[in-house]
Structure 1
Amino acid sequence: MSQHDRHLGAATLKRLRRSRGMSLADTARALIDVATRLGQPLDSSCASVQRSVARWESTRPILPSERYQLLLAHLYARRSDGETALGSGSGSDFAELLDALRHLGESEQAVVELRRLLVRTSTDDNNGLDLLALLGPQARTALATALADPRQADEVLLDVLRTGVSDVNREVGSLPFVRLQLLLAPVVESCRRLLLADDVPASLLPGLRTVTAQAYTLAGRLAFETRDDAASHSLYTAATEAAGKLGTPWRRAMVHMSHALVTLYSTPGLEGAGRLVDAAVRDARAGDSIVVRARAHALQAEVTARAGGRQAARQARAALCLAWYDLDGDHSGDPATSSFTAAHLRGFEGVTSLYVGDPAAAHDEFARSAAALTRPRDQVQRAIVTSDQALARLRLGDPRSAAALLHECVDATSATGGRVATIRLREARRQLRPWRREDWVADLDDHMIEALGA
């Protein structure tokens, strides 16, 4: 980090302080008040905290410690009217604070984690955070203006809606699904109202339909996770309609794949999921995204393998080969922003081996997949993969080790409330029935009851 960057960070902190009419002493007292409100009172005196504030803004500035970063984040995330505002656009004090920390030398990962922590604690404080808190002042104005008069909708509005969807999607695995659903609701409703309006500028309709398809797809998944299957189906239907009007088949393939996964766990049998997967593969093959094509073939392999039998085994293996071929190809310029990776594909490969192959191979594939799924948003997928790994251990004749692995799944599933992870976990527990009188099974049952209520 250059001296110029550090000076820029210090100047930003000073500008933020002065924009709120605070002296160094005022800022010190405000930080002490924040610490007290958070139940983490500072041992330092006001004069000591004031000296720290001055050092952050000096000609040779230092980076605030992690504790002070958290206090500063809470201070600048709250507007003068007491409302929380975590906007990422210009005009957001919180966003400017994060930029200042970057200039002072903080890592991007630490900054991302700080923002994630603020979102999490804000939802804890407010029993659900309105999505507008994630938007900056200009973004709020653009959204309010467009909803009042759709003729004034513009690219700024589309950026606001895209940011809303990506912000919520980013928190999957970090926040319970019911809170994510509350966060996304304003974007879903805004998209619905704008698409129903007759006077949105025609030039904006492709972009509006794109973000609508993304918002509805994510909302459909969240409705499924919170066990509202009727709402989930309705949202996926609307997402399919919006994506179908774009002329970009890979986008509709994304909707079909998400819909297929929730159908697999909310509808008896494989027929419904199979139809959606086949539709996804057709659209993916007709589209321009290699990554989407790889994911569609991987999902096709899983659904086919679940049917069982020799023919299914051959078809599933063929689909996996196509998925690896696609994923190993050149992805430069791929239009999709899908995060589908080799780690995810190994999970699909493991499921295929579990149903129509070798459980030992499945176990190793699950282990490699779980080891690579390390990001916070991977927590849900990691719990699913680990539950499947436990099933593989069971089929290898090692039930006690399988139970030990399921304890990890309980904690991860409890943190997010993931419905698929819960289903896979309970299925693995049912497979332990022959050993139900063992103490280690009783320990697992106690853990599940305590964490999941069942």
Structure 2
Amino acid sequence: MYARSPAGCLALGAGSDFAEYLHALGLLGESERRIAELRTLVLRTATDTGGGMLALLSPGIQTRLSTAIEAPAHADEETTAGLASVVTEVNAEVGSLPMVRLQLLLTPAVEATRRLLAGPVPEPLVPRLREVAVAACTLAGRLAFETRDDTASRALYMEAAQQARLLALPWQQASVHMSHALVTLYSTGLADARRLVQHAVWSARTGESTRVRARAHALQAELEARAGHKRQAQDALDLAWYDMQTEQVEDPAPASFSPGHLRGFEGVCELHIGDAHVAHDRFERSAQALAAPREQVQRAIVTTDQALARIRLGDPRAATDLLHDCVSAASSTGGRVPAIRLRQARRELRPWRGEDWVADLDDHLLDAFGT
């Protein structure tokens, strides 16, 4: 009832009756976790039939946006804030909703920012609108990759990078390059990914966010480890920990990276160029720290790598116990990277393909992915 406007349209975004209802639940003592679960359930229901594309825009913002698209000079701060809230809310649901549904919810915001930036919007709005465009196109690039549209993904990342350059905020440029590097690793290959992450490191070093800088160095460490460059990987990890421990009162991206994420990168490096025992411990600690719904995809990736470490330690049956959990997480979100990592782990189980516990895993994979 609260999720619909008086006209019967779905309205879940800032300023809607539904948003006010959730706020009231919080004031009445309901936990943040339960409120988040309720919101995700309603979003899932809204997209069950392929509808709800404008559900994250309140009716008032929808009206303002329609006016602004027809006449960009009439755009205002509320319109921009409404578009920003859509991007933020879609990003918050990664790991809770399937990627294709998130793509559906994000598309209107991406197209709206394009059309507004193409028109003569009031000059004071341009920087904030560019920030929204960078965030929207970067997230859309990732979602396009997750849904296996690599051509669209590359175009969206290029668009995000262009807007970030015009914005002249190095930490945002670094964030775009890092996201692009990660998807490039799985779509094009290691060499192209290393070039992109080098651009990210250069941008991050002159940027305002130590967390983004730490993430750039951590990703650089992983790619160097995958290339077999042990010294370079360790140097990059040392820089990442130095960045993580550097105090910065007003980091513009304080939640973009955490020690739990960094331990996962340490584990990957150990897995490729170090000790499998150490890698397993790093992955276990990282998975325990990645407990939020938003981190479910990353947790599935880390846990799959932990299973790889168990295989290399001579305990493949224990590895399949972890992989069953990863299958469930990867299938519920539609994440492409967890699925790729699962296939890699399954290939390493080939020497035990005649065992019943491997057959059980194959059945689970078939049920979840159909392949």
What SS does the aligned partner of 1:88 have?
coil
In the alignment, structure 1 residue 210 sits paired with structure 2 residue 131: yes
Q: 1:290 maps to which residue?
A: 210
User: What is aligned with 1:273?
Assistant: 193
Q: 1:123 aligns with which of 47, 68, 78?
A: 47
Query: In the alignment, is the contact (CA less than 8 A) between 1:292 and 1:338 conserved in 2?
Result: no
TM-superposed CA distance for 1:260, in Å, is: 0.1
CA contact (8 A) 1:225 1:417 kept: yes
Match of 1:330 in 2: 247
Q: Which residue of 2 aligns with 1:87?
A: 13
Task: Write the distance in 2 (CA, Å) between the matches of 1:331 and 1:139.
Answer: 35
TM-score by length of 2: 0.98
Give the distance between the partners of 1:213 and 1:449, measured in 2 at CA: 38
Once the two structures are superposed, what CA deviation does each residue of 1:380-422 show, in whole Å capped at 9, x if it has no partner?
0011001100100011011111111111110000100100000
Instruction: Find the aligned partners of 2:295 and 2:108 in 1 and give their Cα distance.
Output: 25
Out of 142, 163, 167, the residue aligned to residue 242 of structure 1 is 163
> Could you say which residue in structure 1 is the equivalent of 2:261?
344
**Contact residue 291 and residue 331 of structure 1 kept, 8 A:** no
Structure 2 residue aligned with 1:100: 24
> Which position in structure 2 is the counterpart of 1:219?
140
Q: C-alpha displacement at 1:200, in angstroms?
A: 1.2
The letter of the residue matching 1:79 is S
- CA deviations 1:5-46 (Å, max 9, x no partner) are xxxxxxxxxxxxxxxxxxxxxxxxxxxxxxxxxxxxxxxxxx
Per-residue deviation at 1:372?
1.0
Matched, 1:152 2:74: yes
Distance 1:303 1:422 in 2: 19
1:401 corresponds in structure 2 to 318
> Which is worse superposed, 76-85 or 163-172?
76-85
Query: Within 1, Cα distance between the matches of 2:283 and 2:275?
Result: 12
Distance 2:354 2:283 in 1: 28
Q: Following superposition of structure 1 onto structure 2, how do residues 380-419 of structure 1 map, counting pairs within 5 Å?
A: 380-419=297-336
Give the letter aligned to residue 88 of structure 2.
S
Please report how far the alpha carbon of residue 337 of structure 1 lies from its aligned counterpart in structure 2 after TM superposition: 4.6
Residue by residue over 1:291-320, the C-alpha shift from the partner in whole angstroms, topping out at 9 and shown as x without a partner, is 000000000000000011xxx111101101
- Aligned residue number for residue 68 of structure 1: none
| Distance of 2:325 and 2:32 partners within structure 1 | 28
Q: 1:111: how far off?
A: 1.9
CA distance change for structure 1 residues 431 and 128 in 2, over 3 Å: closer, same or farther? farther
Q: Secondary structure at the match of 1:77?
A: coil
2:35 is matched with 111
- TM-fit CA distance, 1:123: 1.5
* Residue 1 of structure 2 corresponds to residue 78 of structure 1: no
**Which of 131, 147, 151 is the matching residue for 1:230?**
151
- Map 1:142-221; keep pairs closer than 5 Å: 142-197=64-119, 199-221=120-142
Is 1:134 paired with 2:35?
A: no
User: Which string of whole-angstrom CA distances, capped at 9 and with x for unpartnered residues, describes residues 144-192 of structure 1?
Assistant: 1211110011211110111010011011001110111110000110111
User: Counterpart amino acid of 1:225?
Assistant: E
Counterpart for residue 370 of structure 2 = 453
The unaligned stretches of length 5 or more in structure 2 are none
Matches within 5 A, 1:25-104: 75-89=1-15, 92-104=16-28
Which whole-Å CA distance do the structure 2 matches of 1:298 and 1:114 have between them? 35
- SS of the equivalent of 2:6 reads coil
What percent identity do the matched residue pairs reach?
62
Following superposition, the deviation at residue 194 of structure 1 comes to: 1.3
Asked whether the 8 Å contact 2:171–2:204 carries over to 1, the reply is yes
1:306 pairs with 226, 229, 237, which one? 226
Gaps of 5+ in 1: 1-74
Matched residue SS, 1:347: helix
The number of residues matched between the two structures is 371
Write the distance in 1 (CA, Å) between the matches of 2:143 and 2:81: 22
**CA distance in 1: counterparts of 2:257 and 2:305, whole angstroms:** 19
Q: Is the 8 A contact 2:5 2:59 kept in 1?
A: no
